[in-house]
Amino acid sequence: MIAGVIAVQGDVSEHAAAIRRAAAAHDVDCEVREIRTSGVVGNCDVLLLPGGESTTISRLLADEGIDDEIRAHVEAGKPILATCAGLIVAAADAKDDRVKTLDLLDVSVDRNAFGRQKDSFEAPLDITGLDEPFPAVFIRAPLIDAVGDDVEVLADWEGNPVAVRQGPVVASSFHPELTPDTRLHQLAVFRDNKAVAPRKVDQ
């Protein structure tokens, strides 16, 4: 499996480590490619769109021509996991002209709705498809305030969706890559393969 981590900005190394661990849990060989230029996405089986700063990430994706390649990846039905700023970039609407959203996911988001850096928190979260709560880390997290009919809500927090899926796209307001628990990466990447259905592994 070739996993591409969008690496124009954000917590790239954490996603690279998480996808390696998630693949290892399924005995799948995984080569990670960090993507900073066009021409690489097409070789990837799965993509990770990290947290960071959505205005910067979306601008650099457009500047480099990576944005259309990510759309083509999703149109081909290949998995992508987008977290926090990645969710904002993947959304249909971020209600902020500075974010050129990719429109991979029929949701609208409110940037920074959970507050500032100092309001960061971790909470155990029930996620559809996982049998035990997931330790969800929220840092300047976006709030999903509207979801389209084709979007499945996988988890919510205080009444708002915080993890969603639409076809090959899984996205979260929180940062699964910042915990040792790789189950959301597994859920996103191995979702169609019953032989490698998400399972909990000791880290």
177 is catalytic: yes
Query: Cβ of residue 96: shortest distance to ligand GLN, in angstroms?
Result: 8
Asked whether residue 139 is marked as a ligand-binding residue, the answer is yes
Q: Contact region for ligand GLN (CB under 6 A) — 1-9, 52-60, 145-153, 180-188?
A: 52-60
Q: Which distant-in-sequence residues (6+ apart) come within 8 Å of 158 by Cβ?
A: none
Asked whether position 84 contacts ligand GLN by CB under 6 A, the answer is yes
Asked whether residue 127 is marked as a ligand-binding residue, the answer is no
Q: Which is nearer to ligand GLN, 84 or 162 (CB)?
A: 84
Beta bridge partner(s), residue 49:
82
- DSSP annotation of 176: G
- List alpha helices for 40-95, DSSP H: 54-64, 66-75, 85-90
200 class by beta-carbon count within 10 Å (0-12 exposed, 13-18 middle, 19+ buried): middle
Asked whether position 100 contacts ligand GLN by CB under 6 A, the answer is no
Asked whether the beta carbons of 187 and 196 are under 8 A apart, the reply is no
Residue window 144-183: x/- pattern of binding to ligand GLN, with contact defined by CB under 6 A: ----------------------------------------
Task: Give me the sheet containing 160-166, strands edge to edge.
Answer: 31-35, 2-6, 46-49, 80-83, 169-172, 160-166, 152-157
List active site positions.
84, 175, 177
User: Contact positions toward ligand GLN, by CB under 6 A?
Assistant: 51-54, 84-85, 88, 111-112, 139-140
Q: Detail the residues annotated as belonging to a binding site.
A: 52-54, 111, 139-140
